[in-house]
């Protein structure tokens, strides 16, 4: 199991969190997602190490910017 943490900017509400959750949840191997619009913190748990580029692309697809924390 691997846990990766990212900092997301631009989320303002629960809908935004849900958008990020949906996109990141589509990445193969992801088993858990913890995301907060308030702090911008995104924690992704996966069965194996996730590709940061995939997570960042998923967040961008949802409409926000992220970087590895």
If binding is defined by CB under 8 A, does position 16 make contact with a copy of itself? yes
SS3 26: coil
- Would you say 18 or 43 has its CB closer to a copy of itself? 18
Q: How far apart are CA 61 and CA 64, in angstroms?
A: 7
If binding is defined by CB under 8 A, does position 4 make contact with a copy of itself? no
For residue 5 the two structure tokens come to 């943490």
Size of residue set near a copy of itself by CB under 8 A? 6
- Are residues 47 and 63 in contact, defined by beta-carbon separation less than 8 angstroms? no
Interface residues with a copy of itself (CB under 8 A) are: 12-13, 15-16, 18-19
């Amino acid at each position: 199991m691997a846990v990766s943490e990212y900092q997301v900017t631009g989320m303002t509400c629960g809908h935004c969190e849900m958008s990020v959750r949906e996109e990141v949840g589509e990445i193969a191997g992801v088993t858990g997602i913890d995301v907060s619009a308030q702090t911008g913190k995104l924690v992704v748990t996966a069965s194996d190490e996730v590709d940061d580029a995939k997570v960042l692309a998923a967040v961008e697809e949802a409409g926000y910017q992220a970087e590895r924390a």
